[in-house]
Structure 1
Amino acid sequence: MQGRQKLTQGGMLGGRGARALVLAFLYCFFALTLSTVAEAKTAKVLGARLGVYPDKTRFVIDLDSEVDYTYFLLPDPFRIIIDMPEIDWSAPPGKVTSGGGLISGLRYGLFKPGTFRVVLDVSKPALISKIFTLPASGGKPNRLVIDIAPTSRDTFMAASRESMAAYSARQRNDTSVTEKSEDVAVETGKTTGPRKPLIAIDAGHGGVDPGTIGVGGIYEKDITLAAARELAKVLTDSGRYRALLTRDKDVFLKLRQRTEIARKNHADLFLSLHADSISDPNHRGASVYTLSENASDKEASALASKENKADVIAGIDLSEENSLVQSILIDLAQRETMNLSSNFATDMVRELASDVKLQQRTHRFAGFAVLKAPDIPSALFEMGYLSNPTDAKLLQSPAHREKMAKAILRALDDYFKTHKF
């Protein structure tokens, strides 16, 4: 009994100790959880506005919580780049995207996981004279305030070099300048049986690069992503193809990354999806582009020039990128790839003709950087013009996008009947 009593007392003491330990653990767990949730809270943009003054242009972002920021400057064209932790900017931007004062245009979006980027295009050399945050008070939200003042080109260039040096130092600590390709690309239709052709589907633009902003404020990057996902489904559902999406979310990818994804995964064909805009709102119709040393017409040349500036739009320093892109020479191997690309484009035009409004010269040629993989047949599909109300409405329709996807499926069937993979 005495032994049992000691045991019972010991058990009671042990129970109290265990309960105390459990309570202490739970307290620490919930405190840590609440702290983590607080730290992980994503700031939300409530609105943005521009103020134009005689000596400066003020850009203000209203937020529901404070944010950290860094910035740097890029020349030719003159840009001010502001990076913040990933934030939620789902609020309508209002009129700020069209600019005002020294700011000629504004873009924003996810640059890479954890980094949200705002790009301010400035009409002439200008510096950030002040940048600061204001806490919420008096019914006003948290604010990030950026004052921009004009300067000389020499002063801008010196400030750009200094800010880029600081930016490069930060990059050395974070080598993922943009989303890693393997974290973005998604393959569907994997099988263990006989190998099926792998089609790389590239949704043009993304993240901080919206592409064309069309009728009603629709973004090209959203249309291309929806079309890419639907095309991937049509191809894999056929049972004849595997599909590789270069991106499956709203994130920025460098032009070079897009072709690298296709090459790394040994894609058998690369198709980049886009939707253009033009000054004439009556101009409409789809077209298919393949690579050529010389553009087939002025419009093709202008389009290639615009699409090749995607990295500039996203605030990338092209001092190294340009040399890499321009160093890709059209050698004999690439000439063969260009011929195969042209064959596929011909198949596409033929199959699209019954379901889609096409431009008169449907198959066009230009020097698109995204088509320069030397060993993968590649084409760029301009699905229509977002500046045209009819095309814009159709491209927002899942039924219309499915029609295009099924036409592409038929074109792939035609192509692979006569081409090995």
Structure 2
Amino acid sequence: MSVAWSATKVDAIRIGVHPDKTRFVVELQQKPDHRIFYLQNPDRIVIDMQELDWQGVNTARRKVGLISNYRYGLFRKGTSRLVLDLKQPVKITKKVVLPPAAGKPYRFFIDITSTDRNTFAELVTESRKQQAKKLKPVVVATEAGNSRKKWTVVVDAGHGGIDPGAIGQSGVYEKQLTLAVAKKLRALLHKNPSYKVIMTRDNDTFLSLRERVSVARRAKGDLFISIHADSIGRPEFRGSTVYTLSEKASDREADELAQVNNKSDVIAGVDLEEQDDTVQGILIDLAQRETMNFSVRFAKILLPEISRSGMKVGSKSHRFAGFRVLKAPDVPSVLVELGYLSNRTDERIMKSNEGQTKLANSLAKAIDRYFADLES
């Protein structure tokens, strides 16, 4: 008889301020299997543990002492992550795991104190060495080959795990909506034997921007579609937008959105200094320009299909900016903002099964038209 697996429950997170230190405490039901490292630009402490259940944790006080904010969530299957944003360079002076006692569960805590920039940089360097020894590269499974399939479509559900993306007025997370539409699109494409479909993620886990691009390149993708749901400070704005890559943004809003999406790795505690040059900054050569032309071609096919689905499409519905997730030099790539989570109408459409189905259908029809044009 097998025993059902369950994540370790977290009872509480607390931050205490003392004259000489800030203490960060996690109370949990099982002994923590933990790994800690430092990151800079911006300054962060990252704590990885076994997969945790955070339901019911009160996290109202997030800006305390030397900590300016913190967040948590699933980073990989079996691994949860806490990221502490720091007000200044710090060092950990104590790391303790206390066993259950006096009615308390396991308690894990670290004490942090202020330090100078050079010392913090040394801690980051040492962390990087330790990470290189322990961490294995993430390999995203791809589907087995099918001799009948011709075109490889990579479907990327934006955000995930510790990175929720935008949050709607009802509290729904962008990562939930993007995955729901991505799965519906996969189901539709699977009906056509001409397609091989690769999902960058098919559950609530995190993938760095580099990993998403790598999936597309490893699969030798013919088309990469990154699915998102925008949010903006003006709730009257609504409608779908398709973005393609450019070194220069089409407008300020496109540039700001690219900057927000490009911070996904920072949110999740990824070491940006370890990133691949192809993703960090590429030179747009002739091959890249040809890829970008195909991306624009697909964007122009997709927008009328989205409009026919019932989702509003504005006059500036095709925009471009420096999205890192679109920087595969050899895979035509688009980023689709299905709608605005900050708008009640768009949010209602994207949350509904009917709205998700219509949006997935519009994507599938555009994919059919795009490849039919290439074959003609």
Structure 2 counterpart of 1:144: 108
> Is contact 1:50–1:96 with CA below 8 Å preserved after alignment?
no
Please state which structure has a larger fraction of its residues in strand: 2
Aligned partners of 1:228 and 1:324: how far apart in 2?
26
Give the secondary structure class of the aligned counterpart of 2:298: helix
Write the mapping of 1:246-395 to structure 2, written as runs, cut at 5 A: 246-321=200-275, 323-326=277-280, 328-354=282-308, 355-395=310-350
> Which letter does structure 2 place at the counterpart of 1:83?
D
Superposed structure 1 runs of 4+ greater than 6 Å apart? none
Shift of 1:181: 2.1
Aligned partners of 1:54 and 1:229: how far apart in 2?
51
Once superposed, what is the RMSD of the aligned Cα atoms? 2.7
In terms of Rg, which structure is larger?
1
Give the secondary structure class of the aligned counterpart of 1:395: helix
- Is 1:48 aligned to 2:13, yes or no? yes
Aligned partners of 2:257 and 2:38: how far apart in 1?
26
Shift of 1:295: 0.6
Structure 1 counterpart of 2:362: 407
Q: Could you tell me which runs of 5 or more consecutive residues in structure 2 were left unpaired when the two chains were aligned.
A: none
Structure 1 counterpart of 2:134: 170
Structure 1 counterpart of 2:70: 106
Shift of 1:416: 2.0
Aligned partners of 2:116 and 2:212: how far apart in 1?
37
Give the secondary structure class of the aligned counterpart of 1:138: coil
> Is contact 2:39–2:269 with CA below 8 Å preserved after alignment?
yes
- Bigger relative CO (Cα 8 Å, ≥ 6 apart): 2
- Is 1:398 aligned to 2:353, yes or no? yes
Kindly tell me: are residues 122 and 287 of structure 1, through their superposed partners in 2, closer, same or farther at Cα, counting changes over 3 Å?
A: same
Please state which structure has a larger fraction of its residues in helix: 1
- Is 1:181 aligned to 2:178, yes or no? no
Kindly tell me: are residues 307 and 140 of structure 1, through their superposed partners in 2, closer, same or farther at Cα, counting changes over 3 Å?
A: same
> Is contact 2:51–2:77 with CA below 8 Å preserved after alignment?
no
- Is 1:204 aligned to 2:169, yes or no? no
Which deviates further from its counterpart, 92-101 or 387-396?
A: 92-101
Instruction: Indicate which of 10, 16, 41 corresponds to 1:76.
Output: 41
> Which letter does structure 2 place at the counterpart of 1:387?
S
Q: TM-score w.r.t. structure 1 length?
A: 0.81
> Which letter does structure 1 place at the counterpart of 2:352?
S
Aligned partners of 1:93 and 1:297: how far apart in 2?
40
Give the secondary structure class of the aligned counterpart of 1:66: coil
Give the secondary structure class of the aligned counterpart of 1:262: helix
> Is contact 2:11–2:57 with CA below 8 Å preserved after alignment?
no
Identity over the aligned pairs, expressed in percent? 47
Query: Which digits, 9 at most, give the CA deviation of each residue in 1:336-356, with x for residues without a partner?
Result: 111111011011111111311
Shift of 1:61: 1.8
Q: Could you tell me which runs of 5 or more consecutive residues in structure 1 were left unpaired when the two chains were aligned.
A: 1-29
Aligned length: 375
> Which letter does structure 1 place at the counterpart of 2:44?
R
Structure 2 counterpart of 1:243: 197
> Is contact 1:82–1:117 with CA below 8 Å preserved after alignment?
yes
